[in-house]
Structure 1
Amino acid sequence: MTSAVSIRDMVVTYDGFAALNHVSLDVGAGESFGIVGESGSGKSTLLRVVSGLASFERGSLAVNGRPYSSSRRDKEFYRTVQMVFQDPYGSLHPRQTVDRLLLEPLLINGFDNIEARITRALDEVGLGSGFRFRYSHQLSGGQRQRVAIARALILEPKILLLDEPTSALDASIQAEILNLLEQARRDRDLTFVMVSHDLGVISHMCERLAVMKQGEVVETVPAKALEKREFSADYTRRLLVASEGFRRN
């Protein structure tokens, strides 16, 4: 398996607290990989480090075989790796139109065919050209997340980092956004790295998952193991029971 993302012995500490404690994992090219764990387990920190939004103190990171230092990222990296954040209300600039939000990354990265790319991006996420000159406050939560996904896809990345992409949305909208992401992955042959507290979402979207606890990877299992209850770690079993109990209520 060719690795799209390879992490070895990664360490991140904040005020003496080990947010990541010698974490290692590999995500295959074209794979949809999930990361689960309770709050504070380090899963979002790991995604932020891969994206370049946070630095690491020890260990190594390679993307498509190319090593990257603790925090420096170049344009090639951002054309390869994009991130969709949890909060569609906070991830879009309130004073920029949708058109400007999509135009800016294209200009920064020197893309041509601007009009065609913006039109395609909006169509791909189910928003027509009528949304181009709206501001984020004129959009619903689901529409804002669609714009955020369009902004991530417009640079034609190969790897998409997804940090709880539906947790801030109404339940009725979550399935639409997940289906949109799944379709984009198939159409573009994308690699997904998805963080979620919802094991149901992870089992639906991902082929493998890493279970994290207190900054460490407890185990890595196929998503099918969730249905078959085939775990080696008792923590994974407790996490699944807690998730199922939450959904029943």
Structure 2
Amino acid sequence: MTALIEVRDLAVTFGSGRQQVRAVRGVSFDVEQGESFGLVGESGSGKSTVLRAICGLAPMTGGTVHIGGKPLKTPRDPAFYQQVQMVFQDPYGSIHPRHTIDRVLSEPLAIHGFKDAETRIERALEDVGLGRGFRFRYPHQLSGGQRQRVAIARALILEPQILLLDEPTSALDASIQAEVLNLLDALRVDKGLTYVLVSHDLAVVSHMCRRLLVMQHGQAVEELTRDALQARAATKDYTRQLLVASEGFKAP
């Protein structure tokens, strides 16, 4: 069975000469349909750059990415963005501060020519637990958790198959993080979504993902299952160091 997402020897390089930075170096992984797959590592490990390369926001300088068995086009075409959407880390920065939530959700529908905007907006707000009362509010009238729910609603409104989640709860208070993670988990099951989740937090990855890839300095260190992570059955020193450094991470 072919994986929904196939990444092979992905490389991303920025700059040239002395200024050259090899942000991602030969990273490979597969993600099955309906799976939540994690990319974990410290800041600068290249994990977020992998997501940006898939989405066309960072230059692929080597390797291939296939979605549903088809190679990605450069630049990405509109059909790609109906299939794949990204949720960014900072809900304060990813939503225009002077646009109502209605306008934030309407824009992708207008870009892609959807005619049933009214129905889709109301459904997207309901899906993320906000409801129609939030539709004409501005971002400054919402909490951080509510803004991130709007960002998730915007990603869902085109009914994609795949969500790329870049540290989706790291900018939120600890008390709100679990709510948003549980929402994402429920949406994945209800809608048959496939996730690639980036996080530096092993507890988040353990909660959300059945499998994960540990990254360091732009390279893959090792791939683990959730059970192996929770049993602390890492084979590489770097992964063991992450486990030690991840305060509060405990196997159930």
Same fold (TM over 0.5): yes
Q: Distance in 2 between matches of 1:42 and 1:128?
A: 36
Q: Distance in 2 between matches of 1:112 and 1:187?
A: 24
| Amino acid in structure 1 at the alignment position of 2:50 | L
Q: Give a deviation string over 1:143-165, Cα, whole Å, max 9, x none.
A: 10000000000100000000000
- The corresponding residue for 1:28 is 32
- The corresponding residue for 1:106 is 109
Q: Distance in 1 between matches of 2:69 and 2:135?
A: 37
| Amino acid in structure 1 at the alignment position of 2:216 | K
Query: 1:64-213 counterparts in 2 under 5 A?
Result: 64-69=68-73, 71-213=74-216
**TM-score, normalised by the number of residues in structure 2:** 0.94
Residue 62 of structure 1, aligned match among 66, 70, 85? 66
Q: Distance in 2 between matches of 1:190 and 1:245?
A: 29
Q: Distance in 1 between matches of 2:100 and 2:243?
A: 41
- The corresponding residue for 1:39 is 43
TM-superposed CA distance for 1:54, in Å, is: 0.9
Task: Give the match's secondary structure for 1:13.
Answer: strand
- The corresponding residue for 1:8 is 8
Task: Give the match's secondary structure for 1:176.
Answer: helix
Task: Give the match's secondary structure for 1:7.
Answer: strand
Q: Give a deviation string over 1:26-67, Cα, whole Å, max 9, x none.
A: 111111000000111100111111111111111111111110
Q: Give a deviation string over 1:153-190, Cα, whole Å, max 9, x none.
A: 01000000000000000011111101110111011100
Q: Distance in 1 between matches of 2:70 and 2:114?
A: 23
| Amino acid in structure 1 at the alignment position of 2:64 | S
Q: Distance in 2 between matches of 1:128 and 1:218?
A: 43
Residues 5 and 63, structure 1, Cα contact 8 Å, conserved in 2: yes
Q: Distance in 2 between matches of 1:166 and 1:13?
A: 27
TM-superposed CA distance for 1:112, in Å, is: 2.6
How has the CA–CA distance of structure 1 residues 172 and 58 changed in structure 2, closer, same or farther, with 3 Å as cutoff? Answer: same
| Amino acid in structure 1 at the alignment position of 2:57 | L
**TM-score, normalised by the number of residues in structure 1:** 0.96
Q: Distance in 2 between matches of 1:245 and 1:19?
A: 29
Q: Which runs of 5+ in 2 are unaligned?
A: none
Q: Distance in 2 between matches of 1:210 and 1:81?
A: 20
TM-superposed CA distance for 1:20, in Å, is: 0.6
- The corresponding residue for 1:238 is 241
Residues 2 and 29, structure 1, Cα contact 8 Å, conserved in 2: no
Q: Distance in 2 between matches of 1:221 and 1:110?
A: 41
Task: Give the match's secondary structure for 2:247.
Answer: helix
Q: Distance in 2 between matches of 1:3 and 1:51?
A: 18
Q: Which runs of 5+ in 1 are unaligned?
A: none
